[in-house]
Amino acid sequence: MSELKRINAKGKFKELIRDHNYIFSLLGLIIIGLIANPNFLRFSNVMTLKRASSILGILSLGMTMVILIGQIDLSVGSTLALVGANAVIVYNSTTSILVTLIFCLSFGFILGLFNGFFVGKLNIAGFVVTLATAAAYRSLTIQLGQGGPLNVQNEIFYGKLREIGYGKTFGLPNLVLIFILASVVAWVILTKTRFGRYVYGVGSNIKATRLTGVKVDWVQIIVFGFSGAMAGLAAFLYISQMGAVDTATAGQGMDTNAIAAVAIGGISMSGGRGFVQGTFCGAIILQSINTILTAFGVPAFVNDLIKGILILTAVVVQKLIRRNKE
């Protein structure tokens, strides 16, 4: 009996490492961060770190669902830019935060559905579709702003909109609270709903899931719509912080960052396995890496190299764990 308990305990520990390895990555980064800065874990520093990772984290929530169904969305950065540019125009015209928020979520959702249509109905690989739409969305954004920035009018930016980007509620930054709320919503969808089971099913075995009667095409379409909606929410938070959208550069590189956060969070890049809490930690880990590199005086151009190595390492580790399990 004791031998059986030992084997079970060993199996559970291996399962913990396999499914929640991001925890160990986060602990390692905390140690490195404390070496770089003894005040790394001060509440103000932690909140600053979480605020900085919130927009990326929200983008990564959408990317999580897309990757869970075995696809990739390379358009989230361009979607953020296009939605954000139009949101500036909407807010300047209406001065309504609620109207602007609804617009961002709706427009982002529609752009995501557009991507999902080609993936679900025409069976085109997601990375091909979103590579094309990323270029199209960016071109439309640049045309909208004539290659320059679109600014929220000063007199209305330094009011309620800026309060969202920099204000606090219950002592916590608003961006952090919104990120937590969005994470909870994504977690509920994936773990407590039938649709969430479909998402995992499509990513694990699309043919078997289709044979059970699940409309796989619509699962794919809605998932891409969700990714677009998260990009729309990120766009709203972006303009609440920046007060402007540089139509040529806004959102650039954020698709790669989102993929990196998902990979670091332990989401299987082949789909079907992973948890929202992993993505939540992955976004914080990625931002922590940037903070630590800055503290050590590492040149900014090294960040992209580090992200590439992290993505590759995460995929290799996942492969090794799966091979060991088999």
Enumerate the β-bridge partners of residue 149: 246
Q: Does 220 score more than 80 pLDDT?
A: yes
Tokens linked to 209: 């899931």
The span from the CA of 177 to the CA of 68, in Å, is: 25
Higher pLDDT, 133 or 3: 133
Does residue 78 contact residue 129 with C-beta atoms inside 8 Å? no
Q: Using 50, 70 and 90 to split pLDDT, how confident is the model at 227?
A: very high
Instruction: Dump pLDDT digits (tens) for 276-291.
Output: 988 888 888 888 777 7
- On the question of pLDDT at 53 being above 70, the answer is yes
User: pTM for the complete prediction?
Assistant: 0.87
Mean pLDDT calculated for residue range 245-273: 88
Q: Considering the chain, what percentage of its residues have pLDDT values greater than 90?
A: 48
Summarised one tens digit per residue, pLDDT across range 166-218 is 888 888 889 989 999 999 999 999 999 999 999 999 999 999 999 999 999 99
Structure tokens at 303: 């960040």
For the chain, the residue count is: 326
Structure tokens at 174: 């608003």
What are 120-158's pLDDT values in tens digits? 999 999 999 999 999 999 999 999 988 788 988 877 777
Domains of the chain, each with CATH number or no CATH: 42-325 (1.10.3470)
User: CA-CA distance, 82 to 138, in Å (whole number)?
Assistant: 7
